[in-house]
Structure 1
Amino acid sequence: MNCIGIEPDYTAIGKRIRKYRWEKDISQEELAEAVGVSTTHMSHIETGATKLSLSVFIKISTALDISADLLLNDNTPPDYIYSQIQKEGSDRQKRILTELSKAAKMILEREKI
């Protein structure tokens, strides 16, 4: 346990590392090489079978170009989701996102929020 008595959920962190690695279309081998660990160790990190050090965690975050808070918790900020769709989404996804944004803006204005 850490100093405040809360053990990080290494399995959940590992799943998020794998998720963002897949999204970036980076192989496990490529990420392991970028971070300076073996592919086996990276596999263990992604499955939660091993605890990762802070330095390895930071290297993973940097290699994936993802903020550490995205890897630590499930609360993906809306602006990240929006930017991912704008960068990598299909034309249809971009159109739907724009329509949803306009509808939300109208509701917020109508409700004076």
Structure 2
Amino acid sequence: MNTGKVLGERIRRFRKKKKWSQADLAEKVGVSNTFMGNIERGEKPFSLETLEKIATVLGITLYELLIHAEDLGKAQQSEVLTEIIDKLAYRPALEQKSALKMIDHLLDTIDSVKKSKN
């Protein structure tokens, strides 16, 4: 997946979290609905200035948007995994560690059940 598409998907996720339509975001950023659709689909190049406006309107930093998009592109993570990361990203480290322990325990349980069935 190319960086433009990954970044566009990330923008779309942040927009949907705010329960905004594409038209809502386009209006707030000052671009056309068509152009915003092209950005979210990764179909057209856009300026750093536009990206900064999008991040500001979404209430996130440009750094948060770019770094996370880069990480997603490298890993080509599933949408479910991305959602898990989004939910944990801004939690305190202690909560993240607790969530990891719970996930480890859950996966161990799943593996045990699978082994017992075989």
TM-score by length of 1: 0.60
2:66 pairs, out of 52, 72, 76, with 72
Does 2:53 correspond to 1:53?
no
Residue 59 of structure 1 aligns with an amino acid whose one-letter code is K
The residue matched to 1:25 in structure 2 has which SS? coil
The one of the two structures with greater contact order (alpha-carbon pairs below 8 A, sep at least 6) is 2
**Cα displacement (A) at 1:79:** 5.0
Match of 1:31 among 25, 33, 37: 25
In structure 1, how many angstroms separate the alpha carbons of the residues matched to 2:61 and 2:49? 14
Q: Aligned with 2:46: secondary structure? A: coil
The structure carrying a bigger helix percent of its residues is: 2
When the two structures are aligned, how many residues end up with a matched partner?
82
- Could you tell me how far 1:72 is from its partner in structure 2? 1.1
Distance 1:71 1:19 in 2: 11
- The runs of 5 or more residues in structure 1 that have no matched partner are 1-7, 84-96, 105-113
Q: Indicate the RMSD between aligned Cα atoms, in angstroms.
A: 2.9
8 Å Cα contact 1:13-1:46 kept in structure 2: yes
Could you tell me which amino acid in structure 1 is paired with residue 6 of structure 2? A
Cα-to-partner distance string for 1:86-113 (whole Å, 9 max, x where unaligned):
xxxxxxxxxxx69x37x79xxxxxxxxx
Identity of aligned residues (%): 37
For residues 2-33 of structure 1, give each alpha carbon's deviation from its aligned partner in whole angstroms, at most 9, with x where no partner exists: xxxxxx81111111000111111111101000
Give the 5 Å matches for 1:1-113.
9-74=3-68, 78=88, 80=90, 82=91, 100=98
Q: Distance in 2 between matches of 1:53 and 1:43?
A: 15
